[in-house]
Structures are given as C-alpha cells and as structure tokens.
Amino acid sequence: MNKTEIMLREMLKCSLSGAKINKETDVQGYLSDKEWMDLAGIAGAQKVSALLYDTASCMEHIPEKIVAGFRNDAIRTAASDFRLLFLSRDILDVLRKKGIPSLLLKGMGTAFFYPSPLMRKSGDVDILIPDAEKLTGAISVLEEHGLKVKETQLALHHVVMSFEDTIDVELHTLLVEPFDDDRINRILLKQQRRLMSENNAGDEDLVVSRNVLGVDLNILGDAFHAYELLLHMLQHYLRSGFGIRLLCDWVTFWNREIPEHTVRKYLKLVKESGIKGFSDMITLVCYRHLGLCKKSVKLLTAGDRRYTRSETDAYWEDFLRSGEFGKVSKDRMVALRGSGIVDYAREFHHQMKLNYPEACRMVPLWPVLWCLTFARFMINNKKIRNVSLKSVLISAGRRAFFGKIKKPDQSS
C-alpha cells in the first residue's frame, strides 16, 4: 500500500471504534494536497466518506476542503439513512398487518452496530420474505401502498420495486442467490427452511426486534445476521467483488460483546455450508487491516489461522482495488475456481441456470438456453457495461486466484 492508502486504513480503524486518531499517526501520515485528494477519491469509490468525517474533523494535518467534503457526505448520508429507516419500518409494518412474515436484511439493521449508525451508507432496502409463496401477496400489498415493480429486473433471485422512483426495495425469498455448487445450495435451502420453522416456533435468537434510533425493526438474530453478512460478501466476491465497506460491517458487528453460544451457532452454520475458510479469511483481513479485536479472531478462527500475512494482504488489496461491488472496473464480473476452460464452462453454465431457473430443468433445452445466455451476456456488455468479451475473460482468469478460498478441513 502507498502512504495514502495506509492513512485511509488508519482513519477507518478510528472511525469504526469511535476513537480519535493518534496524534503521532496524524503527523507521520502527513500527506500532500494531491495525496489527500486521492484519499478522498478512494473513500468516495468505497462509499466510506461519511464514516471518515468524525475522525477527519479531529485531525490537524488535513486540508479544510477535504474535511468539508467528508462533512457534506456525512450530511447527505444521514439524510438518506433517515429516509431509508422510516421506509423500512413502514414496509415491515404493512406486511405484518397483512399477515406476511418479513424482516430487514442489512441496511439500517446492520447500521445499528456502528458507533454512529447514520454514517453507514445504505443505498436501498432489502426485505426478506422467508416464505416464497407469500412473495406475490407481498408485492400486491406494497403496490397498494405506492410501490411499483420496476420494468427491468436484472436479477432473478429477488424482485425489485421502487418507492417514488428514487429508492429501490428488493424483496428476497432467499438469504443469497444460488451458487454454482448444488450441495451448497441444498444446505442453504435447508437453512432457509430452518429460519422459517424456528421463527414460527418462537426462537427469540433467530429473529429479533432492534431499536435503531428510536425505530423498532425486525432483523436477523446475531448468529444468522453474521451468517447473512458473510453470504452477502461471498456472493459479491464471486461476482465482480466488493470493497471495504462490507468489511467495516464485519468489524463493527464482531467488535462487541457477543455470547459464546452465539459464536458457536454461527460457526455451525458456516461449517455446514462449507464456507469456514472464507469466514477465516475475512476475519483475518479485518484483524490485520481494520482493527477487528483479537478476542473475536480467536473465537471465529479457533486458533486455526491458515492464511499468511502476505495472503491476507493480497485479499485486502483486491478489496481496496474493487471499489463498491467491483464498480471501479467494468470488466470485473466473476472470480473463477481456476483459469482453465472447464472453469469458464462451469461458470457459463451456472449463469445459464441463474437466468433461466425453470427452463434449465429440461436438459434438452440446454443448447438453446446457452445461446440465449450468451446473447444476453454480449448485449449487456455492449449496452450496459461497454466492455469487450476479451477484457471480461482476462479479468476472470486473473481473479481465479481469489476464487480459491481455503477450507478448514476436507469434509467441508
């Protein structure tokens, strides 16, 4: 990392803990005006500018225009978050009154864990409808209250509605979209059913009500909340990637006093899903770069640290270069398991199944669906991303290294 990126990291550490930056660090990390502008640019691409305001306002060696920029982002973020907070409450209340179980995913439910909840940037509202059969009814109810189903649906694992044509509301029936591993998908479906059955049985640890800035919201209990945060990161990681904002969620979530039985429940979920290695990697990256407390590292990795510092540094750099959800580079779309032709074919087949979940059950239709998937891919590259096929393939092959996440043992 260069001097600018190191200073960004140190400022984030302070912001996530609610502490003031060390004066010695402030002096040693003195940057030129251009370097401060570069830092502000990186923070903007990562959507963490608002988080930096409190820390920046206490620093001596920082241009006032940079502090002013962070202040403006903080004001805009707070105003947006208040709007999303009350919209989330209204949607959950409307669905509850109609007898449709629902809860809030991420968003203001995750902001609850931050020292300053209104400084966590949220872009939309994600609602989980655990019972897929209730989805159609939920859409109808929300349409009656002014929301509209968007004409263009870019994903098939959830339905996107809009509020006043300014805020997207995503209705999910799954915690995460299907992966290209049928075994993992079966496990996730099992967890989804468990979520429904345990909730119906009144498991207070599964779905909880949290008071966020005076507003009560139904969100996942701590074990499932952490599990969903990890799945969300993994989903984006295997697509175009994600930036350090999601790592900030992980740090603020685990830098709290959490009962050991909750940690055990979380570890059981990730081990059953075979993603303990990914959990360890995220945890160690956050420990080495964003100030995750040592106690949480010991609990989450159980002393099994399979990643060297050079490896965690490589992952950190990938997150830093990604920007928010890989938006910095248009050719970042997937991280393959490898760089061979089989790996490309596997991913292409997986994309076909995501695009045509019903039709793909009929094997004779696969050749037609492959052609349709390829045509859709090329059209999106041209009209939406404006990037060449060659660039996408090269990027996917380059990121193949990052698709190989270490696992805790052979059984997972």
Per-position pLDDT tens, the chain of length 412: 789 999 999 999 999 987 777 776 766 678 999 999 999 999 999 999 999 999 999 898 899 999 999 999 999 999 999 999 999 999 999 999 999 999 999 999 999 999 999 999 988 999 999 888 899 999 999 999 999 999 877 666 789 999 988 999 999 988 888 776 778 888 888 877 776 665 544 444 688 899 999 999 999 999 999 999 999 998 888 777 889 999 999 999 999 999 999 999 999 999 988 889 899 999 999 999 999 999 999 999 876 667 888 888 988 988 888 776 444 454 444 554 555 566 667 666 666 666 666 677 777 877 877 787 767 656 555 554 455 555 555 555 555 544 455 544 433 3
* CB of 236 closer than 8 Å to CB of 177: no
Please give the pLDDT value at position 363: 78
Comparing CA positions, the residue from 78, 17, 92 lying closest to residue 50 is: 78
* CB of 295 closer than 8 Å to CB of 235: no
Which residues are CB-neighbours of 184 under 8 A, at least 6 positions away? 273, 274, 275
Please give the pLDDT value at position 287: 94
Q: Which residues pair with 216 in a beta bridge?
A: 211
Q: How many CA atoms lie within 13 A of 407 on its CB side?
A: 12
Please give the pLDDT value at position 201: 44
Helix, strand or coil for residue 72? helix
**Spatial distance between the Cα atoms of 205 and 188, rounded to a whole number of angstroms:** 19
Helix, strand or coil for residue 161? strand
DSSP-derived letter for residue 62 is: S
**Spatial distance between the Cα atoms of 60 and 51, rounded to a whole number of angstroms:** 18
Which residues are CB-neighbours of 390 under 8 A, at least 6 positions away? none
* CB of 245 closer than 8 Å to CB of 123: no
Please give the pLDDT value at position 404: 52
Q: How far is CA 406 from CA 307, 337, 412, in A?
A: 8, 12, 10
Q: Tokens at residue 343, please?
A: 């790996």
Helices (H), 211-259: 222-237, 245-254
DSSP-derived letter for residue 57 is: T
Comparing CA positions, the residue from 107, 99, 79, 102 lying closest to residue 91 is: 102
* CB of 343 closer than 8 Å to CB of 409: no
Helix, strand or coil for residue 93? helix
DSSP-derived letter for residue 146 is: T
Please give the pLDDT value at position 411: 37
Using the structure block, give the residue that is written with the tokens 């019903």.
358
CB atoms within 10 A of CB 189: 12
Helices (H), 120-255: 135-144, 182-200, 222-237, 245-254
If you write DSSP's letter for every residue of 210-221 in order, what string do you get? EEETTEEEEEE-
**Spatial distance between the Cα atoms of 169 and 153, rounded to a whole number of angstroms:** 12
* CB of 237 closer than 8 Å to CB of 285: no
CB atoms within 10 A of CB 258: 17
**Spatial distance between the Cα atoms of 175 and 344, rounded to a whole number of angstroms:** 26
Please give the pLDDT value at position 344: 61
**Spatial distance between the Cα atoms of 313 and 307, rounded to a whole number of angstroms:** 10
**Spatial distance between the Cα atoms of 65 and 285, rounded to a whole number of angstroms:** 31
**Spatial distance between the Cα atoms of 239 and 324, rounded to a whole number of angstroms:** 12
Which residues are CB-neighbours of 384 under 8 A, at least 6 positions away? none
